[in-house]
Amino acid sequence: MELLSDIILDTVLDCLKMLPFLFIAFLLIETLEHCSGNLTGRALRKLGKAGPVVGALAGCVPQCGFSVMAANLYAGGVISLGTLMAVFMATSDEAILIIMGNPGKLKEVGMLLAVKVLAAVTAGYCADMFFANRIEAVKECGKICVHCGCHGEKAGIVLPAWRHTVKIFLYLLVFTGVLNLCIHMLGMERLSTLLLGDTLLQPVIAALIGFIPNCAASVILIQLYLNGAISFGAVISGLCAGTGVGFAVLCKVNSHKKENAKIAGLLFIFAISVGIVLESMEIFIGF
């Protein structure tokens, strides 16, 4: 009982320390979204072959809006498969903000973003060059409805930022508590072994977690990584597979079910490929 009380206390204190960082970050993100959301949509419409580059840069902004926007634009026949894939793979949801809430881990942010953007751009151009003709169905142009469910009417900036903060705080509280309990009961080495640590299969497990259409997936992945239970290659694989609610929105607005399934399969292949390459570098050459 005393052990459980200590775990709960440590968990609450750890999460409370992150609360102000999360709220400030979400305020900045909401401000950016309000100021540049429509501009980004117009830019994606006009970029053509540069779409995967700008899509990757837009996708790495830690919020669900751009992946939802890309899903709607793709369903409306406005952007290419490669641009959609770049946005999806670059999307980090709240993972970046969680790392930023741990000041001692800030150096991880640059590496994670750089690898994800590079992977997203590469995957985007590969998708356009080699897979678009096999996957893309004929679209009804102009059928676009951009909405991610994160904002009410006239909600402003502060209220949505606070809602996001509370939501992520609760996810962190629950998962961090469970993770701390597992670490105390099993030990970090045993937990890592259960998650196929130091094997090329760990990125596959991480990618499956990443497919959960909810920001809880990124919370789980980044907390496992920060606690040493999964590798850098695995967390990249999981975060590349994770689209926030972007893929769920795509399934809703795009009536071509086979096309959606092919997109999911291609995204999974790209995500685990990146993870396995990084995992191989870690295992064999100590990257």
Amino acid at 131: F
DSSP 148: -
Q: How do residues 223-245 score in pLDDT, each as one tens digit?
A: 889 888 899 999 999 999 998 77
For residue 154, name the pLDDT band (cuts at 50, 70, 90): low
Residues 14 and 46: their CA atoms lie apart, in Å, by 45
Q: How do residues 250-274 score in pLDDT, each as one tens digit?
A: 988 888 899 999 999 999 999 999 9
Q: What's the predicted TM-score (pTM) here?
A: 0.81
Tell me how long the chain is: 287
Q: How do residues 80-139 score in pLDDT, each as one tens digit?
A: 999 999 999 998 767 888 888 777 777 888 899 999 999 999 999 999 999 988 888 766
For residue 37, name the pLDDT band (cuts at 50, 70, 90): low
Q: How do residues 163-201 score in pLDDT, each as one tens digit?
A: 888 888 888 888 888 888 888 888 877 777 777 777 888
Can you give the pLDDT at residue 160?
Answer: 84
Range of the domain at 37: 2-285
More confident: 154 or 99: 99
Residues 101 and 86: their CA atoms lie apart, in Å, by 26
Number of domains making up the chain: 1
Structure tokens at 159: 């209220």
